[in-house]
Structure 1
Amino acid sequence: MRNRWLIAGLTLITCYATAQKPAFDEAEKYDALQLQKLTGSLTPVPFFSADGKSFTFTVEAPVSKARQVYRVTPSAKTKEPAKDTPSSLPKTFKFYGTDTSPDRQWQLYAQDHNLYLKHEADSTGKALTSNGSLFNSYSSVAETNMNGHTPTNACWSKDSRYFCLIRKDNRRVPTMSVISSTSFGRPYLNTYKYEMPGDSIVAQYELYIGSIDADTLRKINIAKWPDQEVQITGSKLPEKEIYIIRRKRTRDEMELCAVNLETGVLRVVIHETSKPFINEDMFHEYIVNEGKDIIWWSDRSGWGHYYHYNSEGKLLNAITTGDWTAGKLAGIDTLKKCIYVYGYGREKGVNPYYAYLYKVNFDGTGFTLLTPETATHGVFLSPNREYFIDHFSTINQGPKTIVRSTSGKFIMEAYQPDLTALYASGWQAPEPFVVKAADGITDLYGLMWKPFHFDSTRKYPIISQVYPGPQIETVWTEFTVTDRYNNTALAQVGFIVVCMGHRGNSPIRNAAYYKYGYGNLRDNALEDDKYGLEQLARRFSFIDSTRVGIFGHSGGGMMTVAAMGTYPDFYKAGVASSGNHDNTIYNRTWGESYQGFSKPFAKNQALAKNITGPLLLVAGEADANVNPAHTMRMSDALIQAGKDFDLLILPGQSHTYEGVYKRYYEHRLRKFFAAHLLK
């Protein structure tokens, strides 16, 4: 009997001895604010000379923060210190607003919500309208009842004769409100127009064309779909026609239309349909060479690619093709008729989120890879299209800035940051990994942060930092020491911190991946996250799958609560900040695009009864994006279910927490997980 008690006592002592002590000091040492001091500039922004033959950039040294300006002349392969401040504007440049005609003789402006036209030689303008009002204004800042001159965002014709603008009618759109208690004097109430999914009353759009010779505006008939959205696109200096895009409310159809500036006649140029919704995050259109060439993005093949149309809307050819995604354009050479396009997933055996730059002619010929390094590339093309600046890096390979010709030939190295102090501090980059989605087929890419005093013989709790998209995945591919969620610092407390993609999370992958979660906005990423964490726990013996935490912001906050309510035996603790827990009161574009109109929204409140683990809900008091009502409704559901939870409201904060409030939130998050997972 005595031996049995002795063994039990030794076991108890062993348990206490192996309990992890939170390393808050280590977390503070490697907090994002501290790491920023050790890096200096990583990817400086170039400013080109007026002729494009040289560029300057400013860099800040690590630790000392001394600043230095350099001038690079690629043709001479020289880099030298410069005394002048970088500027992309010639010294004789005179600024004119977008409402000024190209010949600088006419100025449009709004006053008391009505539109005025003033000649350069006149002291006052003539009124073109009299029916403008608050929330139905000709001003681009219509939401403020200003008596002074305000901008209109008008588009002028190249010959300075015609102008056009969109007028948005928000008068009947319902409002929402938030309060800021920290404002000076009385608490400030911010009431704003806000459209929610399924609203019967939403903003309406009108298109007007005016002339310097007319005293009134001409309203153009642009009607096609109820509650459509309309924007002016294409060249800012059209000649005979302006181009608009109108979008169907169901988000699965759009049209490019041309409107004759003289007659006001509208014609449809391109009609695009993509089910169940159009990928607006990658979509772009370019009207070049006075409309003779139209470059149009579509995922009609199942992959996102560019297509070449003529001015009449006839499809001439596909510009890019294949099982990869053509992303945004870095530039267009209208004379040589070629584009510079970012591509994802074309290079085999490489992370499909790495951005490469390619060059291809309008007719689809001459396809060339310009940035061969296995990394994510970000480029700046020179105005003369003779060369480009290429910043490239990976999550665990520091950045380098080089100069290449637009044929892809290496010219010179321009900059490489000094990371000596960073590495000397003990900092380590996160580790990339790949797991399978719950279908057992699809690859999911992720990152893992470890404590820098990592001991492979120990067991660590694992925390999943989540964001379910659908418009982006928070899995970085470029080098960073200050990841958005400060995962480095959190890991130092004594955790393995991971983030990973999930099906339905990224517009960069193919259409099937991106649109996987349609109609299941709340739950589409849950199964993949759990399955991915389970794979990591089987792969790495240092991960304790009995101590799993989860946290996220905005959509990640929604996912955190949904995960804890769906898998309460798996996720043991969670922190949900500014989560859109009830998407029926969230942004209309978001809900109607990704959930659709036929399937009801699943709300996190319905899961309150299932939650068993510790949960911290956080919200910014003045958040006009995800209204604090989301967090209050979730709190009410937990109270109604008799559940214990923690609630933190950050005074005066919007959707993005700033300064001392951001630091306070992050400290609370670290302490919360330490209290509940480091046992």
Structure 2
Amino acid sequence: MRYMRKDRCFLMILLCVPLLLPAQKANYGAAGKYDVPELEKVVGSMELVPFFINETDKCWFHWEEANGKRNYYFVDPDKKSVRLLDDKPEPKTKPVNEKSHLPGDVSPNRQWQLYSRNHNLYLKKAGDTVESQLSRDAQLYYSFCINEFDTSTTHVLASEAHWMRDSKYFYVVREDNRKVQTVSLMHAMAARPWIETKKYQYPADKDVTQYELFIGNTQSRQLQQINISKWADQAIAVVHATASDKEIFFTRKKRTGDEIELCAVDLATGHVRTIIHEVSRPYINPDLFAVSIIEGGKEIIWWSDRSGWGHYYLYDSAGNLKSEITPGNWTAGRIVSIDTLKKELYVYGYGKEPNRNPYLQHLYKVSFDGKKQTLLTPENAHHRVFFSPTGNYFIDNFSRIDQEPKTILRDKKGLFICDIIKPDLHSLYATGWKMPEPFMVKAADGITDLYGIMWKPYDFDSTKKYPIISQVYPGPQIETVWPNFTVFDKYNNTSLAQVGFIVVVMGHRGGSPYRNKAYATYGYGNMRDYALADDVSGLQQLARRYSFIDSSRVGIIGHSGGGAMAATAICTYPDFYKVAVASAGNHDNNIYFRSWGETFNGIKEIADTATGKVSFRFKVEVNQSLAKNLKGHLLLVTGEVDNNVQPANTYRMADALIKAGKDFDMLVLPNQNHHYEGLYKTYYENKVRHYFGKHLLGE
């Protein structure tokens, strides 16, 4: 009986063995096989960029095969033909006018030179030895020179200098950064470590860039400063209008980011008139806002999201609204081409086609009066087009995350002319590579559709349970949910998945300007936390939908804004996210770019009624305040000389974790900027794989 009891106990142990088997092993070999440098060996070009010949419809392009060989092709739309060339076409150049070698910026009639020396502005007639000094107050950080730090010779002007067609007038914008404060970075890897210092503006800084606009006259050889002031710390930008010799156009934008005006300056008198005044709260969308001046100002095309969707509007020269050019519940994006004779606009659009991913980019032709809208790229895919100089044809590159790329030629009506080329992906598929899978979940509100992409291990077994890693970027200017076909996704998610994870990316409310205004501005005033609930909700939905996802082993990784979000997430939902990698995160937006923080988080304008002076207040939640909540494993990463998201962001988070008595890991990549390169990038990605392997797979 005693032996029988032992046998029964032994049998019970055997029955329990599956529960005691070693944890799933990390497959670092597969991760290396599908790393970007390895995939690059079997993949060539994915889409083409045309080089049009002598302002005609004919063009050539280069195309790399998977073996690295570069071929050259010639496209003739009239013959509907594409042929392989023996070699790269030689560019046909016009005879060089020796005056084109004159220093500085030369007038259209080639009679005048405009240049700077010792920061000041000079004018000289071509071939003359007499120069006119137009300014005498310029200095470092208050300069007319494109290269402020080199004053030994004569230089071209900054890009904001521009001649009018008659060569009589020109305009130039000067920035005043003399009072703007600086930040510094230590370059420790130099033979003698040195400190790099540059001007850098923080949100709510008292002293920020000031803008000045000048009009110059070659006949009087005078430079007139134009009174453009309206709002404290306003930003201005000149709007190009080649067909006008009477006025120049510029926008001025309020520091709070919610008001903008289009103005015109009379070249002869310097008088400023306001044409369009737009108020859009909480902010004017900086990624999609655009303005085009038609026929020297007779008509104006103006982008606005006043209807709740981003669209273009047509105004007359006095600022009277004539029509909405692109009405409807969809978003009008970048203008590709304008036909002023036929009064038609060629524009990218998002979300107009039903039952399609709203991030897919389509090309539309719309009439100025808004009565006719024509889809020119009907395929259910993401389209990137190039018009020929005549406007008679365009090249259409299109693909989808789950659809191979293809390039075709269309006429201006969108009609198919001929196939041009498509990539040969046989070598890629021969490695075992598979396309990632698109998916859709609901936001935490249970209503809003969120779009995502999933990568699986290529030895995927649906009967197994896999940890899931959310690769995040909260926006608000872009979501890293690629709509087009990709092999080398920006964050190397293909390789990470091969270790033994399900890797996903998904959008979050507030993440993109390409949806409606409510979606785009969802995160305003809550820059740290707005994307978190949607990420948690999306991951939970995926775990309920797919039995192979283990919701008890959740990781999160991000870079830049995604790095900040990863750290926020693991400290806000410490029982949900078990592992986080926060790379180059802007953990403290008090010390990140002024324009970014003030626009997307908001800044309050405070007026002193006694003095009339205006000040600004910025308030944002920071990750340091969450450090006390950390339970899981957190890896902080920064580049030593990151001049975008300064290392101070990561150091402040590390300091808060230390003071909270929290265990965490940290990696500083020497001599690396915001984007890691070479062996440092390889080291970082290997570190990420092993970090998740250790803490999610228990290797």
Matched, 1:456 2:475: no
- My pick for the range that moved more, 4-13 or 211-220, is 4-13
- The counterpart of 1:74, out of the listed 70, 73, 77, is 77
Partner of 1:173: 180
Partner of 1:615: 634
Contact 1:155 1:237 in 2 (8 A): no
- My pick for the range that moved more, 147-156 or 159-168, is 147-156
Partner of 1:31: 35
Matched, 1:403 2:409: yes
Deviations 1:143-179 (A, max 9, x none): 6666542432211111111111111000001110112
Q: Which amino acid aligns with 2:44?
A: G
TM-score, normalised to structure 2, is: 0.94
CA distance in 2, matches of 1:524, 1:243: 38
Contact 1:111 1:150 in 2 (8 A): no
Deviations 1:539-574 (A, max 9, x none): 000000000000000000110010011000000000
Partner of 1:473: 479
CA-CA distance at 1:454 after TM superposition: 0.5
Contact 2:243 2:296 in 1 (8 A): no
CA-CA distance at 1:606 after TM superposition: 0.5
Partner of 1:126: 132
CA distance in 2, matches of 1:147, 1:644: 56
CA-CA distance at 1:3 after TM superposition: 5.7
CA distance in 2, matches of 1:22, 1:509: 39
Contact 2:104 2:156 in 1 (8 A): no
Q: How does 1:296-335 map to 2 (within 5 A)?
A: 296-335=302-341
Partner of 2:530: 524
CA-CA distance at 1:408 after TM superposition: 1.1
Is the partner of 2:222 in helix, strand or coil?
A: coil
Is the partner of 1:660 in helix, strand or coil?
A: helix
Matched, 1:257 2:263: yes
Partner of 2:164: 157
CA-CA distance at 1:7 after TM superposition: 6.1
Partner of 1:57: 61
- The counterpart of 2:695, out of the listed 667, 676, 679, is 676
Contact 1:197 1:592 in 2 (8 A): yes
Contact 2:242 2:296 in 1 (8 A): no
Contact 1:156 1:237 in 2 (8 A): no
Q: How does 1:229-628 map to 2 (within 5 A)?
A: 229-236=235-242, 238-598=244-604, 600-628=619-647
Q: Which amino acid aligns with 1:394?
A: R
CA distance in 2, matches of 1:289, 1:456: 62
CA distance in 1, matches of 2:521, 2:269: 41
Is the partner of 1:230 in helix, strand or coil?
A: strand
Q: How does 1:181-196 map to 2 (within 5 A)?
A: 181-183=188-190, 185-196=191-202
Partner of 2:650: 631
CA distance in 2, matches of 1:439, 1:98: 58
- My pick for the range that moved more, 85-94 or 499-508, is 85-94
CA-CA distance at 1:102 after TM superposition: 1.5
Q: Which amino acid aligns with 1:607?
A: L
CA distance in 2, matches of 1:280, 1:87: 40
Q: Which amino acid aligns with 1:68?
A: N
Contact 1:49 1:90 in 2 (8 A): no
CA-CA distance at 1:452 after TM superposition: 0.6
CA RMSD of aligned residues (A): 1.8
CA distance in 1, matches of 2:138, 2:92: 36
Q: 1:241 to 1:44 in 2, by over 3 A?
A: same
CA distance in 1, matches of 2:152, 2:582: 39
CA distance in 2, matches of 1:141, 1:12: 73
Q: 1:86 to 1:496 in 2, by over 3 A?
A: farther
Q: 1:446 to 1:389 in 2, by over 3 A?
A: same
Partner of 2:51: 47
Give the length in aligned residue pairs: 677
Contact 1:204 1:229 in 2 (8 A): yes
CA-CA distance at 1:663 after TM superposition: 1.2
Partner of 2:610: none
CA-CA distance at 1:109 after TM superposition: 1.7
CA distance in 2, matches of 1:83, 1:106: 44
CA-CA distance at 1:8 after TM superposition: 7.1
Q: Which amino acid aligns with 1:610?
A: N
Contact 2:185 2:641 in 1 (8 A): yes
Q: 1:144 to 1:499 in 2, by over 3 A?
A: farther
Contact 1:72 1:79 in 2 (8 A): yes
Q: Which amino acid aligns with 2:77?
A: P
Contact 2:71 2:87 in 1 (8 A): no
CA-CA distance at 1:34 after TM superposition: 1.4
TM-score, normalised to structure 1, is: 0.97
CA-CA distance at 1:433 after TM superposition: 0.2
- My pick for the range that moved more, 357-366 or 142-151, is 142-151
Deviations 1:24-77 (A, max 9, x none): 111111111211221211101100011322010000110x21111111001111
CA distance in 2, matches of 1:53, 1:530: 51
Q: 1:8 to 1:551 in 2, by over 3 A?
A: farther
Partner of 1:662: 681
Contact 2:104 2:113 in 1 (8 A): no
User: Unaligned stretches of 5+ in structure 1?
Assistant: none
CA-CA distance at 1:660 after TM superposition: 1.3
CA-CA distance at 1:386 after TM superposition: 0.2
CA distance in 1, matches of 2:331, 2:89: 35
- My pick for the range that moved more, 226-235 or 451-460, is 226-235
CA-CA distance at 1:362 after TM superposition: 1.5
CA distance in 2, matches of 1:129, 1:84: 51
- My pick for the range that moved more, 231-240 or 544-553, is 231-240
- My pick for the range that moved more, 531-540 or 232-241, is 232-241
CA-CA distance at 1:678 after TM superposition: 0.5
Is the partner of 1:571 in helix, strand or coil?
A: coil
CA-CA distance at 1:105 after TM superposition: 2.3
CA-CA distance at 1:188 after TM superposition: 3.0
Q: 1:406 to 1:453 in 2, by over 3 A?
A: same
Partner of 1:85: 88
Partner of 1:19: 23
Deviations 1:411-447 (A, max 9, x none): 0011111111111111011100000000000000000
CA-CA distance at 1:215 after TM superposition: 3.4
Q: 1:292 to 1:597 in 2, by over 3 A?
A: same
CA distance in 2, matches of 1:222, 1:626: 33
Contact 1:557 1:578 in 2 (8 A): yes
CA distance in 2, matches of 1:668, 1:4: 46
Q: Which amino acid aligns with 2:249?
A: Y
